[in-house]
Amino acid sequence: MMRNRVQCIVPPHVLEAIEANGTPEQRAWAAATLSVDATVRADRAEAPTAPPHPAADLTAHRRVYDAGNTTSLPGTLVRGEGDPASADVSVNEVYDGFSTTLDLYNQVYSRNSIDDAGLDLIGTVHYSTDFNNAMWDGGQAIFGDGDGDIFNRFTIAVDVIGHELTHGVTQYTAALAYRNQSGALNESMSDVFGSLVKQYHAFPRQTAEQADWLIGAGLWAPRIRGAALRSMKAPGTAYEDPLVGKDPQPATMDGYVTTRQDNGGVHINSGIPNHAFYLAALNFGGYAWEKAGRVWYSALTDRSLSSNAGFLDFARLTVQKAEALFGSGGRQRIHDAWARVGIST
């Protein structure tokens, strides 16, 4: 099943650029990273397609494991729920990022963990060696250390942790198929709620106007010319560097990329719904999770949203939700946001 495919934060086009432009050593690890992704995907091919039975208690517990720079999952348990802080910064970043993500979903959307039934959250740090990615594999989040030359550790950005767990939320709700437009919507949901986790977690909390709308700020090592992996405010501008290439994301349908790479451009065309969400949040003003976020969450969790939904299907559903939640003014704000990315609802 598509939903059990591994879903990575760093898209293959970045790894392929490094494979083409890097030193022999960099080329070797880029190839290795691409092939490890494929290995994890293969390992999970036989995973059960039905969600696990919900936990009996309704409080999600966090469990952080250490893979010890191997690829065996989940690894050794190093911090369970309620355990004191670790001496390992990555362990604590995952433990804290899990609770920040649980808080947003619970306090704002009344959702009880990613399955809405208190599912425990499992994360593994120090996966593989110098591993340049973070992933959701259908059952847990996985974080590489980065090689320190191109990427820093992947636990450094709380929006990346929120991004990976939101793949779980999508898996348990609309189960958007991870290819073409439904796949780009799946990626976009993770960026939208990952960014909301970051804005909600900031002290003080950030309004739509104050937020940077970057995904993965701090992930690039200093030598790379880039602010982040993606920008929801200005898709296509997050990085430009001789080694890793240029951010290929379009902001509007005029730039829609038709490709067989990256499952049909799921990390590329996600720029379009990402930018629509940014514009919707700005149209409402204030905290993005309160209005635009509520509209998006209502649409994502509506049973009428098909796993094969395209951009227009999702856009129309958000317009309906906006009207139901916030009246004709809300409807107009959402309609306008989609129109500005080239989608007429």
User: Which residues carry out catalysis?
Assistant: 164, 267
- Which residue, chain included where needed, has tokens 């946001």? 337
The window from 6-14, 115-123, 252-260, 333-341 that contacts Zn ion (CB under 5 A) reads 6-14
Beta carbon nearer to Zn ion, 147 or 164: 164
CB of 187 to Zn ion, least distance (A): 5
Angle, in degrees to the nearest 10, between helices 311-340 and 271-284: 50
Beta carbon nearer to Zn ion, 190 or 199: 190
Give the separation between CA 218 and CA 93, rounded to whole angstroms. 14
Q: Residue 180's CB: how many other CB atoms inside 10 A?
A: 18
Give the separation between CA 40 and CA 53, rounded to whole angstroms. 23
Give the separation between CA 291 and CA 287, rounded to whole angstroms. 8
CB of 143 to Zn ion, least distance (A): 13
Beta carbon nearer to Zn ion, 136 or 287: 136
Give 193-258 as a DSSP string. HHHHHHHHHSSS---TTT---EESTT-B-TTS-BS-SEESSSTT-SBEETTTEE----SSGGGPPP
CB of 81 to Zn ion, least distance (A): 25
Q: Residue 280's CB: how many other CB atoms inside 10 A?
A: 27
Beta carbon nearer to Zn ion, 7 or 152: 7
Beta carbon nearer to Zn ion, 213 or 326: 213
CB of 1 to Zn ion, least distance (A): 17
Question: Total residues at the site for Zn ion (CB under 5 A)?
Answer: 2
Please give the torsion angle defined by the CA atoms of residues 256, 284, 159 and 40, in that order, rounded to the nearest 10 degrees: -40
Question: Mapping DSSP to helix (H, G, I), strand (E, B) and coil, where does residue 53 land?
Answer: coil
- Which residues from 160-219 bind Zn ion, rule CB under 5 A? 190
The beta strand positions in the chain, using DSSP E, are 7-8, 62-66, 76-80, 121-125, 134-136, 141-143, 214-215, 230-231, 240-241, 245-246
Q: Any contact of residue 7 with Zn ion (CB under 5 A)?
A: yes
Beta carbon nearer to Zn ion, 7 or 249: 7
Q: Residue 179's CB: how many other CB atoms inside 10 A?
A: 18
Q: Which two tokens stand for residue 4?
A: 């059990």
CB of 14 to Zn ion, least distance (A): 13
CB of 267 to Zn ion, least distance (A): 7
Residues that bind Zn ion in the complex, under the rule CB under 5 A: 7, 190
